[in-house]
Amino acid sequence: MNGFVNIIKPQGMTSALCVMLCRKKLTKQFGKTKLGHMGTLDPMASGVLPMGINQSSRLFDYLLDKTKVYVATFKFGYETDTLDETGTVIDSGYRTPTEEEIENVLSGFIGEIDQIPPKYSAKCVMGKRGYELARRGVDFTLEPKKVTIIDLKLIEKTSDDEFVFYIKCKGGTYVRSIGRDIAYTLETKATMTALDRVEAGIFKESSAVTLDDFMEADDVTEFIIPSDDVLSFDKLVLEKDVAQRILDGYFIDEILYPDGTYRVYSENTFWGVGIVNEKKLKIVTYVRDI
């Protein structure tokens, strides 16, 4: 069995634990099951955590750069070592900007920008993860990386010093760093106090299932998304004899499809992702038992 499940990870739980619980549930119903997630959510964050079942996790490479949408809350006036409320306060006593001041600087963060990842992150430096070095008190510097922010809006002010933002970005963007950099631009400090991932590519919170509902269901089949539904490539259908030749190890060089990447099918079964180049087909990612 292959496919995806779109789970809402609850706040306070690691992504790894969420995956482990779902794997146990799937294994109980379908037998031994492999399960991997598409992008870690920090324990303090909630929101969509898409997971690939068995061979479907091979499709993550086609999805990792997809757009993600977050609703993030930042509190101004202080900064922690982790840039979120789970960390230790390292600087405080700064002012809270006005809504107008914040809105006036947001446009400067839209587009491709240079962003320094948080030290407490999985970025590698000196052969170690940043968070490993930070926990040991090692002094180090992370280089800026290119990230893309598609949209950034101030949603509301929820208290004297706390603001909620809508953030639409490409994969690899650090939301904690966005709050830090908005604050630095306004000559103050900020820390993230809440984060909800509402979209990750085609996976949306509005159509996701809570972890509790998934774990309590007698039959989780209704929550499984077919592998090919997550891909936007055109469809390429192989005749049975041509498909058999591929199984037999032959190279197919008579495909009458334009050059490009395709979802490949035979006998109404999704085989995986194939590339056509000069009428030659190569299946580069299988998601079924061949």
Residues catalogued as catalytic? 42
In one letter, which amino acid is 217?
A: A
Listed in sequence order, the residues at least 6 apart from 120 whose beta carbon sits closer than 8 Å to its beta carbon are 81, 82, 83, 87, 130, 131, 134, 135
Nearest Cα to Cα of residue 120 among 42, 18, 50, 188: 42
- Retrieve residue 102's tokens: 């914040």
234 forms beta bridges with 262
